[in-house]
Structure 1
Amino acid sequence: MEQLETLPGRRILTKEIWLVFGVSLGASGLSALISFTGSITAPKALNDQTASLVTDAAPGRPWLGLAWQLFYVANALVPVALTAHFLGRGGEPIRRTLGVDWRPRGMDWLRGAAVAAGIGGSGLVLYLLARNFGANLTIVPSTLGDVWWRIPVLVLSAIQNAVVEEVIVLGYLLHRLGQLGWADWKADLTSAAVRGSYHLYQGLGGFFGNMVMGLIFARLYRRWGRVMPLLVAHALIDIVAFVGSVALAGKVSWLPEQ
């Protein structure tokens, strides 16, 4: 367990965690729970309902739509800056403490690609099974029209998702819980449960699938001591899902037309 000698006290660190998650993934988890409640109480079966991930806020107005997309990405990254501020304030720069760099190292790319290949394929199988058994909504990765900025925005959104989730729910949370004296297994399970919670809007498949992914990521993070390989893996998984949905829409039966 890391010492708290140069850091704020235990009570302040606990409040810090609640505040960080209150303006980021904790709020997303509550929103997902409300959304899931609405889905399971709706007249339609879960697999007859859709959950859209990247949507166009201004259809027919491409420049306004682009402005909204860039705003969404920038706004989502503010809590990441907040965690970096809190860590740096205590003399723990995010680069050294969590292994988060501006650019991934060569080994980060190799490890990330390997993890993405393993988890991406199994995740797709789990999604299809959950949807087939009526435990998951139909996921529509993108409803963006055929605008010139569609692919760059989808890639940017995928990277943003990876940065927010892996920095906050993986690196930051596990680091802080360790400083508070939590056992590794308890911290890993909590991190994984939080990860599953904000995917609950997709259905039970989204919840349990992402929880398993969270446990695997926590294990690998403790082994490698760096967030970056898992951030790379997450980004690659989402980029393939987002861009692949555009390429395959209308060509495969299990993917809804956009």
Structure 2
Amino acid sequence: MDRDRRRVLRAEVLLVLGVSLGASAVYAAVSLIAKLTASKPLSQQHATLNPSQAPGRPWLDLTYQLLGIFFALVPALLALHLLARDDDSPHGVWTRLGIDRRRPTFDLAAGAVLAAVIGIPGLGLYLLARAVGVNATVVPAALPHVWWAAPVLVLSALQNAVLEEVVVVGYLLTRLRQLGTSTVTAVATSALLRGSYHLYQGFGAFVGNAVMGVVFAVFFLRTRRVAPLVVAHAILDIVSFVGYAFFAHRFAFLR
């Protein structure tokens, strides 16, 4: 790859991350600093996901929720568009990243296994981190009790899964390898980015998501398929979001 092409790709990566999860990482770091310098200990603070955007106005709230989900997917579509320019076939990028329908059984089965492998230890790590005071209490869902709450939480989980796995795994690892980055460095970069935009939750979330990032990055480099990662991530978030909304009042350790 010539020097000009390398420079263009570096700028492209920074811009894609700058309008998506790289920006989220910066805000998350600032949020963590704010929590650490607040009057209350980190363990007594909350990190709320999926909050109401218009309390007391359910239809306006629903509109905001759907708009947020839609526009959050745009960076993933941008990343796919940029990768597609490298391919002659219009379907090349979908096949190259493994987001097609060639192996549905594998994608679903592998995704379910990955969700179990990541989810069960991840819950234990979260509870431990909160117990020792290095993580805030995470509130996965804070929507009002309306009919559209569960569907919106599912859509939010799917949006998170698509955005993160396409950008942080499929796009970023592809571009880093094209730039000549070593496998170890590429995996570490992807994993650290994933951990960093969860820093607003605390140090436990950073470690847990960084470990998840290593597992997901290695899986992608071995299989060249993002679809199982999207499935796994969606399962984890759906269980977290919807499960919390329905069962938090019954289990004290979730609150």
| TM-score, structure 2 normalization | 0.95
What is aligned with 1:97? 96
Q: Which of 16, 22, 25 matches 2:18?
A: 22
Corresponding letter in the other structure for 1:159: L
Name the CA shift for 1:239/1:104 in 2 (closer, same or farther; >3 Å).
Answer: farther
Counterparts of 1:103 and 1:192 in 2: how far apart (Å)? 27
Matched, 1:75 2:71: yes
- Residue 15 (structure 1) shift: 0.3
Query: Does the 8 Å CA contact 2:195/2:208 hold for their aligned counterparts?
Result: yes
1:120 and 1:149 mapped to 2: Cα distance? 26
SS for the counterpart of 1:139 is strand
- 2:134 maps to 135
**Structure 1 partner of 2:105:** 106
Secondary structure class of the residue paired with 1:181: coil
Write the letter of the residue equivalent to 1:82: L
Verify the 8 A CA contact 2:194 2:209 in the aligned structure 1. yes
Match of 2:138, SS state, is: strand
Whichever residue aligns with residue 93 of structure 2, its letter is I
Identity of aligned residues (%): 52
Is 1:196 aligned to 2:195, yes or no?
yes
Q: Which amino acid aligns with 2:77?
A: A
Listed as ranges, the matches of 1:165-204 within 5 Å are 165-204=164-203
Distance (whole Å) between structure 2 residues aligned to residue 236 and residue 60 of structure 1: 30
Task: Check whether the contact 1:130–1:136 (CA below 8 A) recurs between aligned residues.
Answer: yes
CA distance in structure 1 between the aligned counterparts of 2:143 and 2:233, rounded to whole angstroms: 21
1:97 shift after superposition: 1.8
After TM superposition, give the deviation of residue 51 of structure 1 in Å: 0.4
| Equivalent-residue separation in structure 2 for 1:150 and 1:104 (angstroms) | 32
**Letter of the 1:253 counterpart:** A
Distance 1:43 1:248 in 2: 30
Instruction: Tell which deviates more after alignment, 52-61 or 94-103.
Output: 94-103
CA displacement at 1:103 relative to structure 2: 9.4
The answer for unaligned runs of 5 or more in structure 1 is none
Query: Is 1:63 aligned to residue 62 of structure 2?
Result: no
Contact 2:142 2:245 in 1 (8 A): no
- Any unmatched runs of 5+ in structure 2? none
Change (3 A) 1:76 1:126: same
Report the Cα distance in structure 2 between the residues aligned to 1:118 and 1:141, rounded to whole angstroms. Answer: 20
**What amino acid maps onto 2:63 in structure 1?**
A
> Aligned in 2, Cα 1:104/1:133: closer, same or farther, shift over 3 Å?
farther
Give yes or no for contact 1:178–1:187 (8 Å, CA) kept in 2: yes
Distance 2:117 2:206 in 1: 19
Label 1:249 to 1:43 Cα distance change in 2 as closer, same or farther (>3 A).
same
SS state of the match for residue 58, structure 1? coil
What TM-score do you get using the length of structure 1 for normalisation?
Answer: 0.94
Q: Report matched runs for 1:111-126 at 5 Å.
A: 111-126=110-125
Letter in 1 for 2:109: L
